[in-house]
């Protein structure tokens, strides 16, 4: 949820990219999460913020754009959670439907935030409450009321996330890595490969295993790359379903040259 809130400040989209920006990745390295207390389901999350250092800063009327990124992320989590709660309640009580969520995108509502809230409630859709406290050395002029989600709101949030994703074109990325699994039902034709690698340009460097389906000629090349321990490169829309990552409608496939030199160019597939 912290990642989704941070990303929404940098990239205002209803569905955030799978690749995290450098700024978001740097923040996540500083965030601390405390373990639950014995017999408790309370988890503490600490986002460090720099203190106010000068009287001039104290005169600022706590404008959102004047706060450091770390504080704005905390404020975005609170605002997005409240907006998701209000949207879910409105969708239940009226015929507003998905518009209840789309009208609150400026408040931080994204498919990712909805999914984070549902994920924290667990498979049993346990009621969830978020409470906030702000550092005394950098006070804020905002109410710190907790945001409580009843179990009945979780299916609404889950449906909203799915519908928002359905309305949003998938992000196209280039994946690079080793072929670790090959599978096809017949000796010829399309085949499925699994790549252990990363998204090019992803500041996290590693996304784990990505699955995609190749045409026969490229599947044969993937077999050879696997045998020779050579990297491959595939481009297409990245789709995330739970923990599974897959590339759909592959636009190009290439076996990487061992020296990664100038001849290492992807081969465009016919459209």
Listed residue (72, 55, 54) closest to 63, CA to CA: 72
Q: Exposure of 177 by Cβ count < 10 A (0-12 exposed, 13-18 middle, 19+ buried)?
A: buried
Q: Within its chain, how far is the Cα of 184 from the centroid?
A: 31
Instruction: Report the share of the chain in percent with pLDDT over 70.
Output: 85
**Tens of pLDDT, residues 3-16:** 999 999 988 888 88
**Tens of pLDDT, residues 161-197:** 999 988 876 677 889 999 999 999 888 899 999 999 8
**pTM (2 decimals)?**
0.64
For residues 242 and 123, membership in a common domain is answered with no
For residues 235 and 249, membership in a common domain is answered with yes
Do 128 and 117 contact (CB within 8 A), yes or no?
yes
Sign of CA dihedral 199, 202, 204, 205: positive
Which residue, of 167, 184, 211, is where some domain finishes?
167
What phi and psi, each to the nearest 5 degrees, are found at residue 198? -145, 165
Listed residue (103, 46, 110) closest to 80, CA to CA: 110
**Tens of pLDDT, residues 67-122:** 899 999 999 999 999 999 999 999 999 999 999 999 999 899 999 999 999 999 98
Name the residue range of residue 27's domain.
2-167
Overall average pLDDT of the 141-149 stretch? 86
For residues 175 and 153, membership in a common domain is answered with no
Do 90 and 37 contact (CB within 8 A), yes or no?
no
For residues 181 and 98, membership in a common domain is answered with no
Which residue, of 142, 167, 192, is where some domain finishes?
167
Overall average pLDDT of the 221-229 stretch? 94
Q: How confident is the model at residue 268 (pLDDT cuts 50, 70, 90)?
A: very low
Domain count, the chain: 2
For residues 152 and 183, membership in a common domain is answered with no
For the cut 80, the answer to whether the pLDDT of residue 126 exceeds it is yes
**What is the domain-level CATH number for residue 240?**
2.40.50
Please state, in angstroms and as integers, the Cα–Cα distance from residue 235 to each residue in 177, 225, 238, following that order. 12, 17, 9
């Amino acid at each position: 949820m912290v990642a989704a809130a941070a990303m929404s400040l940098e990239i205002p989209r209803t569905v955030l990219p799978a690749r995290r920006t450098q700024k978001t990745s740097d923040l996540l390295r500083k965030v601390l999460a405390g373990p639950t207390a014995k017999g408790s389901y309370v988890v503490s999350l600490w986002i460090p913020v720099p203190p106010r250092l000068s009287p001039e800063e104290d005169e600022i009327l706590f404008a959102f754009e004047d706060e450091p990124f770390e504080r704005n992320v905390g404020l975005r989590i609170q605002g997005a959670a409240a907006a998701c709660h209000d949207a879910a309640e409105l969708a239940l009580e009226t015929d507003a439907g998905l518009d209840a969520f789309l009208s609150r995108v400026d408040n931080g509502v994204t498919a990712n935030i909805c999914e984070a809230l549902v994920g924290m409630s667990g498979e049993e859709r346990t009621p969830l409450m978020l409470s906030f406290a702000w550092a005394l050395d950098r006070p804020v002029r905002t109410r710190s009321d907790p945001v409580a989600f009843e179990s009945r709101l979780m299916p609404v949030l889950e449906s909203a996330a799915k519908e928002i994703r359905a309305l949003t074109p998938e992000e196209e990325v280039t994946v690079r890595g080793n072929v670790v699994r090959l599978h096809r039902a017949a000796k010829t034709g399309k085949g499925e490969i699994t790549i252990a690698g990363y998204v090019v340009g992803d500041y996290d460097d590693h996304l784990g295993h990505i699955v995609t389906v190749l045409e026969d000629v490229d599947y044969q090349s993937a077999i050879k790359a696997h045998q020779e321990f050579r990297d491959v490169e595939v481009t297409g829309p990245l789709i995330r379903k739970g923990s599974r990552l897959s590339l759909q409608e592959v636009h190009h496939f290439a076996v990487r040259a061992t020296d990664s030199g100038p001849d290492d160019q992807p081969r465009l597939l016919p459209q």
